[in-house]
A and B are shown apart, each in its own frame.
Chain A
Amino acid sequence: MTMDRVIFGDNQFFGINHMSEEKARAQAIRFQDTASIIEVLDTAYAQGIRTFMCTTHERMPEICDHFRAHRDRYPDYRFYPCMPYAHKYANAVTELGMLGALRSFLPESGVLGTLIQGGKALATSDIESIGRMLVDAEMKMFAGLSTPVIFIQNIVTDLLLGLGIKDAFRIFSDHIRTRYQAEPGFITMNVPMLLDALDAVGIENPIVCANINKAGFRMSGGVARYEEILRTRRFRPIAMSIFASGAIPAREAVAYVCGLEQVESIVFGASSRQNIQQTSDLIRQLSK
């Protein structure tokens, strides 16, 4: 399975901006109407961007509805879902407690009954079945759309990584392959550590999406370590945050990432026709 060189990201649509809360708010205002999101996706599509990497945000179902209703307009469009939208869960845990949150996100099931009795160790099959149910609940919104790669968000990847629950990666990976005939992907801020963990559970040549930028912004272990890993380890990197939220000038940022041979794809988000064109042109021009 090949991935497009240029992938469109979604942070700008949902008020996420690592540079400025004012900018984030301005974007949240601009994109509170789903039609304005579609308009930007259309602009990107017109410039040849066919893959949309998106969080399973509560507004995504509406966007998916649009693409389902207009398949003829986007015959080759692909979504790379990234799950879960963590704040949804974090806020629910604060409000309802851990079990209450789990109960609110999962359909009625016998497994939760077992959990609620408490005290018991969960069987492996229970944990696996909870994991699969959570994935399926997040994937519902993409029914009927093409989702060739499905990611775990960094907050969950990195939490599992720190906790040392490596088997979860295996469970996720198996479920994504068998149930969705898709490739599992892992978003992380800790590439060196993640690659070791995936190795340990036998996940080979994984798709890993991580910050890769000249400034070392949110690259645990630092730029030099990442460069070494890119040279020596076998995996399929997607670079994100290549501009370090605007800290690096566009051409310099793109030139750096394009100079790293192993990087397969670059994901970026933008709101204006001009920025989308400039960035995608730069990537294509410097990817020689």
Chain B
Amino acid sequence: MIRTAIVGLGKMGLSHLAILRAHPEVELVAACDGLGYLTNSLERYAALKCYNDFDDMLAKETLDAILIATPSKSHGALVRKAIDSGLHIFCEKPFVLDHAEGVGLVELAESRGLVTQVGYHYRFVATFGEAARLLRAGALGRVHHVRAEAYGPVVLRPKGSTWRSNRQDGGGVVYDYACHAIDLVHFVVGEIGAVSGVIRNSVFSRDVDDEVYCSFSAADGISGQLCVNWSDESCRKMTTRLSVWGENGNIKVDRQECQVYLRQPVAAFPELVKGWTTLNITELLPPEWYYLRGEEYSRQIDQFVRRVMAREVRGTNDFRSALSTDRVVAMIHGTLADGAAGESMQPPPRRGAFARLRQRLLGGAR
């Protein structure tokens, strides 16, 4: 059993708490939050040991792992304390607000051999996983463009009274929504190297951005666009979509479907026909042990638990992976220290390694 505690009992924290408590390999030892009415009520009705002070909890409990789901601003300090206590750490996204601090924390956690993970749950949505698998295996040949979009109905009025309406605390659409889209780009086509043409607007908010758009470039001459807006009432909930174009076709993927268009069939994927193939989440999903809000939330916790049991330091969504998303956020905000923001984008090379790979996969079919 992995002796685990959780700090931060907001919306995500309560959801994580429920999933952790339901996990057969986790012993949820204690929870911590500053709100007394919440912790006292959980102690009374959920028979859960609670603390109002993180240091107090660390001092008194013997733990293997900690889940941090506090407002983003506090992630850095809490992660450092957890590392110092030798705990494996699952931290909500974004990882930390200060990229430079994140660099130090990643190195520290890795040097101590700790298992780390950040809550980029979209990687655990079966459709996005399938898209990543197809793209990595070269189904589209050389990829040349990707569009990452996220829309949703979070801020629809010029009002707001939580930490999410304060940029310094990690509020705003970039931290809340765009992070997921950026992480998905990293997941399916590789790391973003530079951003340009950044547009950040407030639609309703006084202090934070409600929409963000930019161009970006990634390895192997891939260009891309990011379009994110959390003031879109026409979406029932957060809607995230990736569209990827390659020389052999394109893939459009969202939470429900992965639509693949292939110009030529690929031997490695006999299930994909020439033209359109649609893969649905219903056919891609194995059942979970416990379901709340979406399989991805259970799957990411399950992966973390398995990684802790196997002491697997590097893995999907580890701190190093999440740090690369923080880096892109810093570029978008224009705060990245190493000056990579605003670099001019390189035109894609005409012939490269991907073209050769495509040639190998497609043979002489084209």
CB within 8 Å of B: which residues of A? 14-21, 24, 28, 87, 90-91, 93-98, 100, 115, 118-122, 124, 127, 155, 158-159, 161-165, 167-168, 189-190, 193, 215-223, 244-247
Contact = CB atoms under 8 A, between A and B. Distances in A.
B289 A21 contact: no
A220 B154 contact: no
Given A16-B236, A98-B10, A167-B45, A121 B17 contact: no
B339 to A, nearest CB: 34
A88 to B, nearest CB: 11
B39 to A, nearest CB: 9
Q: On chain B, which size bracket covers the interface?
A: 35 or more
Contacts of B37: 115, 118-122
A80 B269 CA distance: 46
Given A95-B154, A159-B15, A164 B10 contact: no
A163 B36 contact: no
Contacts of B155: 95
10 contacts: A19-B280, A21-B254, A95-B157, A98-B38, A118-B35, A120-B37, A121-B41, A164-B21, A164-B48, A247-B283
A162 B162 contact: no
A127 B10 CA distance: 18
Query: What are the 5 tightest A-B residue pairs by CB atom distance, in nearest-first order?
Result: A162-B18, A121-B40, A119-B36, A189-B291, A247-B282
Contacts of A159: 14-15, 18, 292
A123 to B, nearest CB: 9
Interface string B125-162: 00000000000000000000000000001110101111
B268 interface: no
Given A158-B292, A218-B291, A94 B164 contact: yes
Contact of B287 (A93, A100, A127, A220): A220
Contacts of B43: 121
Contact of B256 (A18, A119, A223): A18
Given A19-B281, A164-B47, 19 more contacts: A16-B236, A18-B281, A19-B280, A19-B282, A21-B239, A21-B254, A90-B237, A97-B161, A120-B36, A122-B37, A127-B41, A127-B45, A162-B18, A163-B18, A164-B21, A168-B45, A190-B22, A220-B289, A246-B282
B163 to A, nearest CB: 8
Contacts of B274: none
B227 to A, nearest CB: 16
